[in-house]
Structure 1
Amino acid sequence: MRTEKIFFQPDKVEDAIYSFMWNLIESVLIVILVLIFTMGFRSGLIIGFGLILTVAVSFPILLVCGTTLQRISLGAFIVAMGMLVDNAVVIMDGILIDKKRGLPPKKYLYRIGQNTAMPLLGATIIAASTFLCVYLSPDSAGEYAGDLFLVLCVSLLASWVLALVQVPVCARTWLPIRERTAGNDQGAVMNSPIHKFIRNTISKLIGYKKITIGIAFAILILCIAGMGKVKNLFFPDFDYKQYVIECFFPSATSPDVVRDNLLDMSNLLSQRKDIERIAVSQGSAPAHYCLVRPMTSGGDCYGELIIDCKDYKTVVKQIPEVRRMLREKYPDAYIRCRKYNFSISTSHTVEVEFAGPDPAVLKELSNKAEDIMRRCKYVDPYSVQNNWKPYSKSYVVKYLQQDALRSGIGRSDIGNALMAATDGMPVGMITNQDKTIVVNMLVRNEDGSRISDLNDIPVWSMMNLHLSNDEFNSAISGGKGMSELQDKIFRSTPLSRVAKGITMEWDEDVVMRLNGQRVIEAECDPNSEIDEATPAKVVESIKKDVEAIELPAGYSMRWVGEGELQKDAIANLMKYVPLTIFIILAILLLLFNSWKKVFLILICFPYVFCGIVPSLLITNQPMTFMAIIGMMGLIGMMVKNAIVLVDEINRLQTEEKKSPYTAVVEATVSRVRPVLMASLTTIVGMLPLVTDPMYNSMAITIMGGLAVGTLITLILLPIFYTVLFNIKKI
């Protein structure tokens, strides 16, 4: 006998960690190279060294916090890459500017840290708190992605500490002490082409504030309306190189026929060169072989094939071909190909549930919903069904309760007698090495033939014991033989004495119940050959017609499937959003002590949709749960940049006594390099995730949102500031 691993989770974890470690290393190297080319060799090395230290310091702290090394925790480092270098970029940029101004080392090494330490800390806490609702979410999605908060919280706080300590120390050692400049004013220092462009753009747009804000608002409305065009796929598939073919044969199919068909399918598919291994299971899915797919149990008429390919791309390419081939060759079977997905509690992605007392009425309601599903162009017609099995023939006995009770016969006794007189009643099991043999008790005529008239079959029960006091005392004293009592206990009664008759009728083979109430689900899957067909699109198309089905009194309808999981996950996230908002507002008020400035920062949030929506539409990526988390991360990144900019405007007005207009323009120009560097490092750091099936939607969301977010911070936010504080152009 030879054993093989069908699905070994440690191997999957090891492969995922190995792949993500390389993604993390690639991301760090890309970010360091970008910093070297944009900020200079030595400055880039200082920030890159700080980034490596941040990641290295975070791992032992996360170990103490109980965080494990897996895709979410490693992916969180890549998501936070731009934010991790942002603190260091702000400090390094301030050091370089003050150094060019000719300030002494004791001044230029520490002045920027003293000015921005608290704003950077507040921005860092806000950036981490945007993921707090994911960590606190009690559902499976929150448990899966909750490590994002811990990783970001630890790594961002570590980056803040290292930016204030490591960057000045390394700058003192690695940079020349002094640098000659052509001039000492800020304009001469920050006079590169990009600085000139931002300065001139802001100066011109401040003169056309109403037009600028009107155009920005119109673009925002257009992009929010465009969200309806973005595909909605809440849980992305796992990129495992294995998939499952579920086969449901007609209910009357013999187990031997099911076995032969499964083996034929296996032989047919094994001829394909892109398939590495096929495992066959009959009756149900292998017990607990994987936690990210449902334990399908279809009885004797069910079987499945577990297919291994060389990689995930092969799985995606192969599934449509295999599905089409098997459905054509086995038209009587219901065949589905399923990839591994986080929504394991549903059999189909679109499900509508009807509840009520009468099975016939429930079946009629389900048929109406199924007809609506079949007419929808986004639905795979083959997938439409309900979760009750088809009608099957069964024996119906008209039970005479009074006569049966007098004979000590219960309903279950009649069922056991019918099984024994027909196919056999299981009474035990015999194990022979690796084989298990079921022992059936058969009731037959004396010659071994079947009983032709089922009305004459014997029905027995332990309840047949009826002893008088004299018989009981005689048994105790030994006057009456125990063999006589045993015969009396196990005596049988003809079925005709406890039942009026027996007939063969069509009946429901399976009736599902939920909380004690009969329920039926009409279910379907999107058409995989139509690109825009997603579960959300299907529900949107059929919802009006399905909800228009008239329900009798005592019956109810609700949407389940992936939509229910999405609704629960979003509800659990939204439950803690007020806490996140409270933390953001509290920190902003502590920093600025002005509701106007808090409002100024908050009104910039919605404009990230101007980058998210076009990016998702252009790349044809869906809005997934991970993309929603990416949007939360964007809020933290936007707030971080806005806080430092607004704080610099305040400092220029209060400490350097500059006019409001000059303070707005010069503060924005001073933030050009830190904002561009943080955005650029985040965007290029996301590149390794673009090809990852789970993280690609998040990567596209952050990259697109941050690209536009840079323009919002450097152009739109200063315009809003001049409007709120009524600043005129000089």
Structure 2
Amino acid sequence: MRRKVNDLKPSLPPGVYEPQVIDDFGDVFGILLAITGDGYSYKELNDYVDYLRREIELVDGVGKVSVTGTQQEQVFIEISMQRLSSLGISPQTIYGILETQNLVTSAGAVRIGSEYIRVHPTGEFKNVDELGDLIITETGSEGLIYLRDVATIKRDFKEIPDNLIAYDGQQALNVGISFVDGINVVEAGSRVERRLQELKEQQPVGINIGVVYSQPTEVDKSVSGFVVSLGQAVAIVIIVLLFFMGLRSGILIGLILLLTVLGTFVFMSWMAIDLQRISLGALVIALGMLVDNAIVVVEGILIGMQKGRTRMQAASDIVTQTKWPLLGATVIAVMAFAPIGLSQDSTGEYCRTLFSVLLVSLMLSWFTAISLTPFFADLFFRNVKTSTEDADVDPYAGKLFVWYKSFLEFCLRRAWLTVITLVIMLGVSLYGFTLLKQSFFPSSTTPMFMVDVWLPEGTDIRATNATLKELENKVTQDERVAFVSASAGKGSQRFMLTYTPEKSYSSYGELIIRVNTFEDVIPVMSKLSAMLDADHPELEYKIKQIMLGPSSGSKIEARLVGPIRQSCAVWRRMWLRS
């Protein structure tokens, strides 16, 4: 790709910038830091960030460190036209002399003995002062005239920057840290944080390091929360089993459940599936289904023992009768999630571990039900005494079973009425779904949201930055706001998988706003939206929360293919109708 693009450079029309092949757009910087310095010049801040970057790159597990917000340094030569005229020197003479300086050109080579030595000419400018010593006297002129005699030479940053970043109202540089593939981001984040603490001693007074986003911290919180939820769910299932199935049966099925979850963790490790939100969520979803097979086998063993069968006979009977029906039911449950796991789009890529974990856990539940459950049942029910009088007793003579049997007989005798009732209930359910907010992926519980701001086309980036500062000052007056990070000219570094940074536009700006708690996100977003509508009607903006899954830039997107004039006409009609 690079070779083909480079081959096309000579055929590009004059004035076109050289094309760039960007192959690292998929990098995700799990830690995004904002470096500010009260009273420090941009050059001093940039020097410290360069030192910090080199130190962080040495931390084990860090794959890449990227810095944004840096400005291009340039040498400015301000020529006095009056001085040139008095000396009789044309500006083209200076332009021509400057174009021939600091060029890497071949000066030939010479053979000395058996060696072939290339000649490298010297004379490059080492600093700005040496540039002032450049002789610009034309041929035939008397005396020596230097560039410093007719021009003011200084070194400074690019007059019109490409990207301006601020953090809590101060000029900042963003440092993005990405990790190598397959590493534990929580452990790697701990090493980075520990290294930053060690560098505090060399950190100049007044330099502050703010954390815009920390994936290790967020992952640790979410995984810890899911582990707690998983433990609570397991405990609830076991308590319910103890309550409805008795002490022995409840403990037995709870043990089978724990072994199934443990076996799922083993397979997850073998399949390189990490403990993350989707994989743990799959376990929570499957938890209720993991005990179904074991319940069928345990209940069948108990009923067989009540009918006078031995433990081994009862276990053999129920496993032989139900192993294939249970496998079929398990496969059906797995296939219900197959469209998610086998999807080829970004949703399938994001949720593939959901299907994988459900597949492994449910198939393990079937295996443990027909193998381990009879074994443990023989141990747990060893002291359970059964009499021959219980052989003729109907195990389904209880009130609940009698009522349920009567209800089934009522429905079967009135088959058409039952079918019509079910169809009506299905219709009501489908209508009820229309009243729910439809979103495949919910928003993240991270107390953070972003605001995209577009000014009129052609707005200078410095005017865009001034507008962002005004918005930032208004937003930070709210006590619920923890910090605000602003980026003018383009979006921030890609600090999470579901975030797609905006490309470079001088009229574009972005605000990353973090609030104290997740409950404050919606109220602060509503307040900010009302403020933008009232005080800044000239702005186009979009306020968006962080999503848990992949999402596009807009709720509705359309692509028009065809001649430009016809496409514009179609787009105009669509816009007017909307």
CA distance 1:140–1:187, shift in 2 (3 Å): farther
Match of 1:46 among 225, 238, 252: 252
1:56 aligned onto 2:262 = yes
CA distance 1:210–1:337, shift in 2 (3 Å): closer
Match of 1:25 among 231, 251, 276: 231
Q: Which amino acid letter does the alignment assign opposite residue 400 of structure 2?
A: I
CA-CA distance at 1:345 after TM superposition? 6.3
The secondary structure found in structure 1 opposite 2:557 is: strand
Q: Which amino acid letter does the alignment assign opposite residue 343 of structure 2?
A: S
8 A Cα contact 2:450 2:510, kept in partner: yes
8 A Cα contact 2:347 2:550, kept in partner: no
Match of 2:298 among 77, 92, 100: 92
- Give the equivalent residue in structure 2 for 1:476: none
CA-CA distance at 1:187 after TM superposition? 5.6
1:206 aligned onto 2:374 = no
8 A Cα contact 2:488 2:508, kept in partner: yes
**Correspondence list, 1:415-434, <5 A:** none
**Correspondence list, 1:290-309, <5 A:** 290-297=496-503, 299-309=505-515
CA distance 1:157–1:201, shift in 2 (3 Å): same
Match of 1:67 among 261, 264, 273: 273
- Give the equivalent residue in structure 1 for 2:243: 37
**Correspondence list, 1:61-210, <5 A:** 61-175=267-381, 177-180=383-386, 183-185=389-391, 188-210=394-416
CA-CA distance at 1:363 after TM superposition? 4.2
CA-CA distance at 1:144 after TM superposition? 1.0
**Correspondence list, 1:565-714, <5 A:** none
**Correspondence list, 1:144-293, <5 A:** 144-175=350-381, 177-180=383-386, 183-185=389-391, 188-224=394-430, 227-293=433-499
- Give the equivalent residue in structure 2 for 1:598: none
Q: TM-score under structure 1 normalisation?
A: 0.48
Tell me the distance in 2 between the aligned counterparts of 1:202 and 1:345. Answer: 46
CA-CA distance at 1:230 after TM superposition? 4.8
CA-CA distance at 1:181 after TM superposition? 6.4
- Give the equivalent residue in structure 2 for 1:313: 519
**5+ unaligned residues in a row in structure 2: which ranges?**
1-206
Tell me the distance in 2 between the aligned counterparts of 1:260 and 1:177. Answer: 81
CA distance 1:364–1:186, shift in 2 (3 Å): farther
8 A Cα contact 1:105 1:177, kept in partner: no
The secondary structure found in structure 1 opposite 2:211 is: coil
Tell me the distance in 2 between the aligned counterparts of 1:257 and 1:338. Answer: 23
- Give the equivalent residue in structure 2 for 1:347: 553
**5+ unaligned residues in a row in structure 1: which ranges?**
374-730
CA distance 1:180–1:358, shift in 2 (3 Å): closer
Tell me the distance in 1 between the aligned counterparts of 2:349 and 2:418. Answer: 43
Q: Which amino acid letter does the alignment assign opposite residue 519 of structure 2?
A: K
Write 1 or 2 for the structure with the bigger share of helix.
1
- Give the equivalent residue in structure 2 for 1:371: 576
Tell me the distance in 1 between the aligned counterparts of 2:439 and 2:481. Answer: 28
Tell me the distance in 1 between the aligned counterparts of 2:561 and 2:315. Answer: 71
Tell me the distance in 1 between the aligned counterparts of 2:293 and 2:534. Answer: 60
Tell me the distance in 2 between the aligned counterparts of 1:72 and 1:328. Answer: 41
- Give the equivalent residue in structure 2 for 1:519: none
CA-CA distance at 1:271 after TM superposition? 1.8
Tell me the distance in 2 between the aligned counterparts of 1:345 and 1:165. Answer: 44
Tell me the distance in 2 between the aligned counterparts of 1:246 and 1:33. Answer: 49
The secondary structure found in structure 2 opposite 1:352 is: coil
Listed one character per residue, the Cα deviations across residues 1-39 of structure 1 (whole Å, up to 9, x for unaligned) are 333332232332222211111111111111111111110
**Correspondence list, 1:356-395, <5 A:** 356-359=562-565, 362-373=567-578
CA-CA distance at 1:367 after TM superposition? 3.3
CA distance 1:225–1:270, shift in 2 (3 Å): closer
CA-CA distance at 1:227 after TM superposition? 4.9
Larger RCO of the pair (alpha carbons < 8 Å, separation 6+): 1
CA-CA distance at 1:42 after TM superposition? 1.9
The secondary structure found in structure 2 opposite 1:247 is: strand
CA-CA distance at 1:252 after TM superposition? 4.0
Tell me the distance in 2 between the aligned counterparts of 1:198 and 1:181. Answer: 28
Root-mean-square deviation (Å): 2.5
Tell me the distance in 1 between the aligned counterparts of 2:209 and 2:496. Answer: 17
The secondary structure found in structure 2 opposite 1:305 is: strand
- Give the equivalent residue in structure 1 for 2:218: 12
The secondary structure found in structure 2 opposite 1:5 is: strand
Tell me the distance in 1 between the aligned counterparts of 2:549 and 2:508. Answer: 21
- Give the equivalent residue in structure 2 for 1:453: none
CA-CA distance at 1:157 after TM superposition? 2.0
8 A Cα contact 2:458 2:506, kept in partner: no
Listed one character per residue, the Cα deviations across residues 508-558 of structure 1 (whole Å, up to 9, x for unaligned) are xxxxxxxxxxxxxxxxxxxxxxxxxxxxxxxxxxxxxxxxxxxxxxxxxxx
Tell me the distance in 2 between the aligned counterparts of 1:101 and 1:21. Answer: 42
CA-CA distance at 1:276 after TM superposition? 1.1
Tell me the distance in 1 between the aligned counterparts of 2:411 and 2:564. Answer: 69
The secondary structure found in structure 1 opposite 2:371 is: helix
CA distance 1:326–1:210, shift in 2 (3 Å): closer
Tell me the distance in 2 between the aligned counterparts of 1:259 and 1:301. Answer: 9
8 A Cα contact 2:494 2:501, kept in partner: yes
Q: Which amino acid letter does the alignment assign opposite residue 494 of structure 2?
A: H
8 A Cα contact 1:54 1:155, kept in partner: yes
Listed one character per residue, the Cα deviations across residues 471-523 of structure 1 (whole Å, up to 9, x for unaligned) are xxxxxxxxxxxxxxxxxxxxxxxxxxxxxxxxxxxxxxxxxxxxxxxxxxxxx
CA distance 1:300–1:17, shift in 2 (3 Å): same
CA-CA distance at 1:141 after TM superposition? 0.5
Q: Which amino acid letter does the alignment assign opposite residue 66 of structure 1?
A: A
Tell me the distance in 2 between the aligned counterparts of 1:185 and 1:110. Answer: 18
Listed one character per residue, the Cα deviations across residues 195-230 of structure 1 (whole Å, up to 9, x for unaligned) are 001111223333323333333334334544655555
CA-CA distance at 1:65 after TM superposition? 1.5
Tell me the distance in 2 between the aligned counterparts of 1:120 and 1:198. Answer: 22
- Give the equivalent residue in structure 2 for 1:726: none
CA-CA distance at 1:62 after TM superposition? 1.6
CA-CA distance at 1:343 after TM superposition? 7.1
- Give the equivalent residue in structure 1 for 2:176: none
8 A Cα contact 2:450 2:511, kept in partner: yes
CA-CA distance at 1:338 after TM superposition? 1.0
The percentage of aligned residue pairs carrying the same residue is: 28
Tell me the distance in 2 between the aligned counterparts of 1:176 and 1:66. Answer: 41
CA distance 1:187–1:197, shift in 2 (3 Å): farther
Tell me the distance in 1 between the aligned counterparts of 2:280 and 2:401. Answer: 36
The secondary structure found in structure 1 opposite 2:478 is: coil
- Give the equivalent residue in structure 2 for 1:619: none
Tell me the distance in 1 between the aligned counterparts of 2:550 and 2:241. Answer: 43
8 A Cα contact 1:54 1:158, kept in partner: yes
Q: Which amino acid letter does the alignment assign opposite residue 329 of structure 1?
A: D
CA-CA distance at 1:314 after TM superposition? 1.8
